[in-house]
Structures are given as structure tokens and as C-alpha cells.
Structure 1
């Protein structure tokens, strides 16, 4: 009987300790941070502020081999040792009406309970403490066969990854295809240059 009583006390004590730990983790935000990463902080306007976010100066370039699109995956556009933006895909839609060539970038940052930072081509902002919006700040040009083209936005994601986001850009304007300057079977190397990156910063209030 004494053994059963001791086991019962140990069991109750263990359950109580687990409950206390879970409550502590929840109240401090650790569970939310573990489950959702940066987005937990970005969507918690009452606890975190993004007032210190700002644009990043400079030109950032990457070379893209159009003869082997898969070979470009993983190339760095930006890397300061903490934040990274790299090529996640290069797509040839096979149709001018579908945009032709496009490139996708994956941005990753860092986060802790007190602060999160993400350098990206996208600004993620809290509006009036009630809503959240993401829009592309990055501008890109493509230099190919001695000519420079202005590129246009394709898509942006929210903070769909624990440590960051994704954004994509059309490489060539529709006029380049229409004027037959660019085909859907290019084999050369182009130079992409991106400006107006944005450092998203969320700090605990």
C-alpha cells in the first residue's frame, strides 16, 4: 500500500510539474515562438514593435545560367552571416503569356524571444496594430547580351517559413519577348542586380 501511495504522489507531482512548465512556456511566448517563428512576433503587435525596420542600401548581384536552370538554386544574392537571401528556383514557364522566365528568392533571418530580424525584398508591416500587410520593396534589373532590362514583381509570400519568407520576380519584360530580343530557349548567363532590400526588425516592447 505504501508503495502504491508513493507512486501516486510521484505521478501527481510529475503531472503538476508538467502543467506548470507548459503554462510558463505559454505565458512567456516560447511555445508560440517554437511553433511559428518570426510570424509569432510579427503578428503580436501588442508585444512587439517594427518601428526600427528600414531599407538596406547597396546593389546586390547574382549570375544566372539560363542553360541549366537548376544549377542556380542555392546561389546567394545576400549573405551577411546572419541573414541570407538565396535563389530558390528559376522557372521557364514555356509561354510568353505566362511570363517566360522568373526567379524566386528565399530570405531567412533570426529570431529569439526579445527580437527578430529578416532582410528580404519584402516589407512586412503592422498597420494600426490591427492588420498586417506585406509588399515588395526590391527592385531588380537583368543584364543580358549587353542590354539591361527592368524586371517586374511576380509574387510575394507572407512569413510562411519560421525564419523568413519568399518572393519572386519576372526576369524579362513582355516587350523583350514580343520584340524577339529574348526567346524561351536562352542558353547564356545573365546578371541580376537587386536594390532596395528591407530589414524587417521586431523588438519586444
Structure 2
């Protein structure tokens, strides 16, 4: 897996690089110390994953995440930060981040997060998942209402899609053609007012169709 490290502290990048390359499964292909540099290097290097800090001088991690996800690459962004999920989780997900992890548990959870994100899944530790659940309980009627208008086949299709399945793979699971699956997804997006896979992943998490990594 090819990784771009983004953090404005040299010592943090050095530590992460040593940790990742010691696994023998990660190639750190580039580093950046600012959001602006991260966008440029993501465009040039097209890594599998960007490990993104949030608080940096100039362009912050949330804006850089949004810019990278708008490049049209296959690159996924995993946010790795010391900052509280309560303040930064939702903005990061809205910007297109595929995962969110606190640096305090990076030594034990980082490789699992990377592997999940590269497979096309979203990754949220239990505390972040609990925050989304609380937000759903406090302000999620519209999401719940959206959930109810979907047929069972549409719900299955977007759940598989949110988990990273292609239309062909989802069709094999559902015993349906890829074209039929694409139709289910298109109808669900239209009913829910969603535009892309990031929107579907966020909806699936908030509505309970998709559980965060580590949840049962």
C-alpha cells in the first residue's frame, strides 16, 4: 500500500513512517507538512491512502481532505489527529474522509484503520461511532424518514455500496445483475438526495445500516 503522510511536525512524520514501514506492507511514497503541499503531492503521487493531520498552518486538514477527494483519484483519506472527535469528526467526514483515528491509539489501531479504508470501508473507532449515534438520536429524524422510504433491496444495495462493493460484487451477493444493482443505488440516491459514495457512507453510518469498524 502506498501512503502519503501529512503532518506539520517532522518528528511525528518520522515516527509514523518508521511504524508503517516496519510492517513490510506499507511504502511511504511521500510526506507533506501543510495542506497545500498535501493536495499537490496527492495529485502527483496518487497514493492509495493519505494519512492526514488536521491542525496545520495555512490550509488545514479538513480543507485539504476536501480538495484531495475532489481530485477524482482512487486515493482515500484517513484522518489521524490529537483533536477531539466532538469538534472535528463531522467536518472531516463531510469533507470526504474515509476514516478518523486519534493519535493516542495509533500504535495499536493504525494498521487496521488503513487496511479497512483501502478495502473501501469506513473506519471509526468506538468513541467516534458513539458520537454519530448521539447525533442521530438528537437530530436524525430526516435520516430516519429517508431510511423508511427505501425498499429492502435498495437498503441492501446501498449498504453493500457503502462497504466498498462494486456493482458486480454487490450483484453477486444479491443474486442480481450489476445493472439492476446500479438501478437500486440510483433510486436510493434520488429518494435520499445523495450524490456520491461519501454521502451514502455517511447516511449508512448515521442510519445504522453500516456499523463502524469494531462495532458489533
State if a TM-score over 0.5 links the two structures: no
More strand by share: 1
**Which structure ranks higher in relative contact order (CA pairs < 8 Å, sequence separation ≥ 6)?**
1
TM-score after normalising by structure 1: 0.28
Larger Cα-atom Rg? 1
More helix by share: 2
TM-score after normalising by structure 2: 0.27
